[in-house]
Amino acid sequence: MGSPISTWEGASAYYTSAGSGGVLMFWLALAVVAVIGAIVHTSLHEDKSATAVRNGHR
């Protein structure tokens, strides 16, 4: 079961919006917001859990 491709000559790749800095900044900002959101959510959850443990709840 071999590949029908016998040579890489003439091969090319297309990157969607690779030349657009605005799209790159959008994805970078989205990633930063997601990471910060996860950290804040985890911090709030851990604080709530620690308070519950201190108060004798499981």
pLDDT greater than 90 at residue 12: no
Q: Residues 52, 58: contact at Cβ < 8 Å?
A: yes
Q: Where are the domains of the chain?
A: 18-58
pLDDT computed for residue 8 by the predictor: 77
Model confidence at 22, pLDDT cuts 50, 70, 90, reads: confident
pLDDT computed for residue 58 by the predictor: 65
pLDDT computed for residue 47 by the predictor: 95
pLDDT computed for residue 18 by the predictor: 66
pLDDT computed for residue 46 by the predictor: 95
Model confidence at 40, pLDDT cuts 50, 70, 90, reads: very high
